[in-house]
């Protein structure tokens, strides 16, 4: 069976990375438009680069958790694709081999001119760091107001899936939050989040708990489906 797994910041919370909208979340200490928008970058590039430098440095210190590991293991019995809103590489480090990043990747950089000039980048990015053509570098992240180029790929994947797992997302940011609407009528939906943003139904199974306990439980239920 084909499984699409939509993940948000909650799946990385138990690895030590802050979510955005929980209490003491990332957006509590920052104005989104100041640190995660093209306007903010134009106004104060150093502030925006520093926001992502701090998150990149922290990412290099943390590890995948049992939820990431369980999803990687799931590939041994099912056709799995992870469609993540997260910019961390914890799914990849856990061993997931098919990961679609809707909002970009923190360990990649590109220049301010071209979305396709992407390169691996694990260091800080500073004002004055330029690509080989002399253009300023920026994080390869989709900022608020910018296009989500992988959305069509994600929609096609969800439309062709028999099972949809949704893990650790408040379902408040579009277009990612609209993906659930593309599920096939008979697709089974497993929602894992301590504060679920949707209600259960005959085809939506809710695990109102942390990812590290909820994801393995949902997977053992899926493995009995055969
Ligand atoms: N296990 C599972 N879920 C958790 C855990 C946990 N241990 N801790 C918190 N959560 C849940 C919260 O209940 C919440 O529903 O994770 C979700 C986090 O929601 P947000 O902080 O809004 O993160 P997310 O949904 O990923 O945000 C989407 O918004 O700011 C933009 O680009 C950013 O990709 C991000 C997007």
**Do 151 and 81 belong to one domain?**
yes
Q: What is the pLDDT of residues 24-67, one digit of tens each?
A: 999 988 999 999 999 999 999 999 999 999 999 999 999 999 99
Q: What is the pLDDT of residues 71-90, one digit of tens each?
A: 999 999 999 999 999 999 99
CA of 128 relative to ligand 1 center, distance in Å: 33
Q: Which residue's CA is minimally distant from atom 10 of ligand 1?
A: 10
Q: Domain tally for the chain?
A: 2
**Do 152 and 194 belong to one domain?**
yes
In terms of Cβ atoms closer than 10 Å to its own Cβ (0-12, 13-18, 19+), residue 61 is exposed
Q: Is 103 a catalytic residue?
A: yes
**Do 158 and 48 belong to one domain?**
no
Q: Which residue's CA is minimally distant from atom 14 of ligand 1?
A: 170
Write b or e for each residue in 4-42: b if 16 or more Cβ atoms lie within 10 A of its Cβ, otherwise e. bbbbbbbbbbbbebbbbbbeeebeeeeeeeebbbeebbe
**Do 99 and 109 belong to one domain?**
no
- The one-digit pLDDT tens for each residue of the chain (226 residues) are 999 999 999 999 999 999 999 999 999 889 999 999 999 999 999 999 999 999 999 999 999 999 999 999 999 999 999 999 999 999 999 999 999 999 999 999 999 999 889 999 999 999 999 999 999 999 999 999 999 999 999 999 999 999 999 999 999 999 999 999 999 999 999 999 999 999 999 999 999 999 999 999 999 999 999 6
- If you ran DSSP here, which 8-state letter would residue 26 be given? G
Nearest atom (ligand 1) to Cα of 142: 32
**Do 109 and 75 belong to one domain?**
no
From 81, 112, 141, the end of a domain falls on 141
> Of the candidates 224, 171, 216, which has an alpha carbon nearest to the alpha carbon of residue 71?
216
**Do 37 and 126 belong to one domain?**
yes
Question: What CATH number did the domain enclosing 52 receive?
Answer: 3.30.1600.10
């Amino acid at each position: 069976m084909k499984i699409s797994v939509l993940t948000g910041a909650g799946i990385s919370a138990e690895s030590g990375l802050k979510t955005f909208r929980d209490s003491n979340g990332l957006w509590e200490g920052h104005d989104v438009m100041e640190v995660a928008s093209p306007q903010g970058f134009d106004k104060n590039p150093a502030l925006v680069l520093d926001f992502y430098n701090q998150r990149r440095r922290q990412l290099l210190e943390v590890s995948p958790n049992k939820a990431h590991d369980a999803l990687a293991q799931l590939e041994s019995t099912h056709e799995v694709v992870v469609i993540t809103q997260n910019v961390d590489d914890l799914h990849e480090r856990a061993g997931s081999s098919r990961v679609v990043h809707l909002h970009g990747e923190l360990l990649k950089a590109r220049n301010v001119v071209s979305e396709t000039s992407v390169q691996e980048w694990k260091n800080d990015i500073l004002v004055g760091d330029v690509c080989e053509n002399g253009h300023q570098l920026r994080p390869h992240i989709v900022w608020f107001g910018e296009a989500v180029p992988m959305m069509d790929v994600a929609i096609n994947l969800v439309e062709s899936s028999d099972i949809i797992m949704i893990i650790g997302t408040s379902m408040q940011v579009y277009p990612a939050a609209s993906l659930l609407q593309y599920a096939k009528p008979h697709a089974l939906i497993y929602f894992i989040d301590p504060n679920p943003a949707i209600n259960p139904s005959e085809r939506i199974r809710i695990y109102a708990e942390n990812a590290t306990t909820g994801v393995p439980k949902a997977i053992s239920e899926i493995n009995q489906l055969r």
